[in-house]
Amino acid sequence: MILIHLNNVPQTLQQSLSLQALLEAQNICQHSVALVLNEAVVPKHRWSSILCHHEDKIDVFAVVAGG
C-alpha cells in the first residue's frame, strides 16, 4: 500500500497507479486539467508513464471563472 496526498487529501492506494490511471479512478475529466507532481507541472503526454510513489504530493488544477 502506498500513501499519496491528492489535492491535500491523504489517499491510500492498494497498488501504484500511473497518474493517468489515478485520474481515471477519481473520475476526473482529463482534457481540462493540469497535473502537478511534487510541485512540478507534468506534461499530459507523460501521465501514463509516471507511477505514483509513496508520499507523493499530487495536485490537480482546473480552469475556473475569474477576472
Partner 1 sequence: MLTIAGVEFESRLFTGTGKFSSSQLMLESIKVSKSQLVTVAMKRIDLKTGADDLLTPLRQAGVRLLPNTSGARNAKEAIFAAELAREMLGTQWVKLEIHPDPKYLMPDAVETLAAAKILCERGFIVMPYVHADPVLCRRLEEVGCAAVMPLASPIGTNQGLVTEPFIKMIIEQAKVPVVIDAGIGAPSHAAHAMELGADAVLVNTAIASSTYPIEMAQCFKDAVDCGRRAFEAGLGRVQTQAVHTSPLTGFLQQ
Phi, psi (5° rounding) for residue 11? -135, 140
Using CB under 8 A, which of the segments 12-20, 22-30, 48-56 binds partner 1?
Answer: 22-30
CB of 19 to partner 1, least distance (A): 13
Distance CA 49, CA 67 (A): 35
**65 contributes a contact to partner 1 by CB under 8 A:** yes
- The residue with cell 491510500 is 12
9 forms part of the interface with partner 1 (CB under 8 A) = yes
Nearest 5°: the CA angle 54, 59, 14 is: 35
Q: Which residues of the shown chain bind partner 1 in the complex (CB under 8 A)?
A: 6-9, 26-29, 31-34, 36, 39, 41-44, 59-67
